[in-house]
């Protein structure tokens, strides 16, 4: 669905829009041009393209009418110090770095872009599962080094996939996994029974999912999780041959515990796209042979980034004009 802005209405004075997200406008600079054409003064990211720390936002956000944010630290203190701020536009879906209560108290509209990258993330999830199941990375490295070692993997057909968080992305993963002949179980605090019936999904408690699944894939939103979701106790419940996939948020997994389980042969492998600290310098997962690690690229497809940018533009301009954004979260 195309959400391109078509209106030419402009404000009397330019709205000042801070670009916090490191990916907004990076691949599609025309998205920045669309904001400017709609009457915005676009203020580029001033911290080298990374996320703003709270102290840095305190210096710049007070003069802004809007921020298009990625993982910038929008704390209650930062929000309180920004008297002009009308809207916080999440370029993505994760809201854990935004103090939603503080935004609501100030009457600041917060929006997100759900549905823009769920297919992208689901594709990467299946790619990680397949790479681990068929040992693609070690086989590639061995072949490039002149070897010809027969790597034995596992088929996905008739294996059980446990999906933790059956939202948009989890459902997209489910549809793909069904195409490989996998059996699907899921855990979600708000189960969609109609989808489950249509796609032969069985809802179970988390403990049962962990003990049953051959592959566990995490898609739970971090802002709904009060503590680490997968720690030592949860890892101990999993099969020693099981694969753990995390394309959601790094905070969901106790990474040292995961590394210990993998190194000790208590888990078959892990595919990780999201880390607790990024980049994951010094992370024990970096040294293990039974992992496939990617630099948080789940949503980094041209198709997904185009949709996400267009939705963010609409959300931003609608909120600045006093209209309802496409997808409001606060």
Q: What's the confidence (pLDDT) of residue 12? A: 75
Between helix 168-179 and helix 118-133 the angle, nearest 10°, is 40
Answer yes or no: 278 catalytic: yes
The SS3 call for residue 109 is: strand
Instruction: State how many domains the chain has.
Output: 2
Shared-domain flag, residues 101 and 189: no
**Range in 22-26, 207-211, 221-225, 248-252 with the lowest mean pLDDT:** 221-225
Judge contact between 207 and 185, C-beta under 8 A: no
* CATH for 139: 3.40.50.720
User: Do residue 71 and residue 170 come from a single domain?
Assistant: no
98 domain residue, yes or no: yes
Q: What burial class does residue 261 get, using C-beta atoms within 10 Å of its C-beta: 0-12 exposed, 13-18 middle, 19+ buried?
A: buried
In a domain, 5, yes or no: no
Q: Across the beta sheet with 40-43, what order do the strands follow?
A: 40-43, 15-19, 66-69, 87-90, 109-111
Q: Is there a single domain that holds both residue 147 and residue 208? A: yes
| 61 and 125 housed in the same domain | no
Among the listed residues 30, 56, 142, 278, the single catalytic one is 278
Question: How many angstroms separate the CA atoms of 258 and 308, rounded?
Answer: 32
Same domain, residue pair 67 and 142: no
Same domain, 109 and 134: no
Are residue 281 and residue 141 in the same domain, yes or no?
yes
- Residue 80 belongs to what domain range? 15-116+301-320
Same domain (yes/no): 62, 109: yes
**Shared domain check, 140 and 95:** no
Of the chain, the percentage scoring pLDDT greater than 70 comes to 96
**313, exposed or middle or buried, with CB in 10 Å at 0-12, 13-18, 19+?**
buried
Are 26 and 138 within one domain? no
- Check residues 1 and 45 and name the one with the higher pLDDT: 45
Residue 296 bears catalytic tag: yes
Q: What is the mean pLDDT of the chain?
A: 95
Q: Is residue 325, in this structure, part of any structural domain at all? A: no
**8 within a domain of the structure (yes/no):** no
Are 289 and 177 contained in the same domain?
yes
Residues 26 and 128 in one domain: no
Of 237, 231, 240, the C-alpha closest to 269 is 240
Mean pLDDT computed over 88-107:
95
pLDDT band at 5 (very low <50, low <70, confident <90, very high): very low
pTM: 0.89
Q: Which of 16, 31, 219, 249 is catalytic?
A: 249
Q: Is the pLDDT of residue 33 over 70?
A: yes
Q: Judge whether 155 counts as a catalytic residue.
A: no
Tell me how far apart the alpha carbons of residues 107 and 102 are, in angstroms, rounded to a whole number. 9
Burial class (CB in 10 A: 0-12, 13-18, 19+), 225: middle
Q: How many residues does the chain have?
A: 330
Taking phi over 0 as left and psi of -120 to 50 as alpha, with beta for the rest, 319 belongs to alpha
221 inside domain = yes
Catalytic option among 22, 178, 296, 321: 296
- Residue 31 falls inside a structural domain: yes
Is 82 inside a domain boundary?
A: yes
């Amino acid at each position: 669905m195309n959400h391109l802005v078509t209106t030419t209405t402009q404000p009397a004075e330019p709205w000042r829009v801070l670009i916090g997200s490191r990916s907004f406008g990076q691949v599609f600079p025309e998205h920045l041009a669309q904001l400017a054409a709609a009457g915005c003064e676009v203020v580029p990211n001033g911290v080298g393209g990374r996320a703003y720390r709270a102290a840095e936002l305190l210096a710049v956000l007070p003069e802004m009418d809007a921020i298009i944010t990625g993982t910038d630290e929008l704390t209650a203190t930062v929000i309180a110090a920004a008297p002009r701020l009308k809207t916080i536009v999440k370029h993505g879906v994760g809201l854990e770095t935004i103090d939603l209560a503080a935004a609501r108290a100030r009457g600041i509209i917060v929006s997100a872009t759900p549905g823009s990258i769920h297919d992208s993330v689901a594709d990467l999830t299946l790619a990680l599962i397949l790479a681990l199941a068929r040992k693609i990375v070690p086989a590639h490295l061995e072949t490039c080094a002149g070897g010809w070692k027969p790597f034995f993997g596992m088929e996905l057909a008739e294996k059980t996939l446990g999906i933790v968080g059956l939202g948009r992305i989890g459902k997209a993963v489910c549809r793909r996994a069904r195409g490989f002949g996998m059996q699907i179980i899921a855990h979600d605090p708000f189960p969609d029974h109609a989808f489950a019936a249509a796609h032969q999904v069985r809802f179970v408690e988390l403990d049962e999912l962990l003990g049953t699944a051959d592959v566990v894939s995490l898609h739970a939103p971090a802002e709904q999780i009060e503590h680490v979701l997968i720690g030592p106790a949860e890892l101990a419940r999993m099969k020693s041959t099981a694969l753990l996939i995390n394309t959601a948020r790094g905070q969901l997994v106790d990474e040292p515990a995961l590394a210990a389980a993998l190194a000790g042969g208590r888990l078959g492998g892990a595919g990780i796209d999201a880390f607790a600290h990024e980049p994951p310098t010094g992370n024990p997962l970096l040294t293990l042979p039974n992992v496939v690690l990617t630099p948080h690229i789940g949503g980094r497809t041209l198709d997904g980034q185009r949709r996400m940018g267009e939705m963010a533009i609409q959300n931003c301009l609608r909120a600045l004009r006093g209209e309802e954004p496409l997808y409001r979260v606060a």
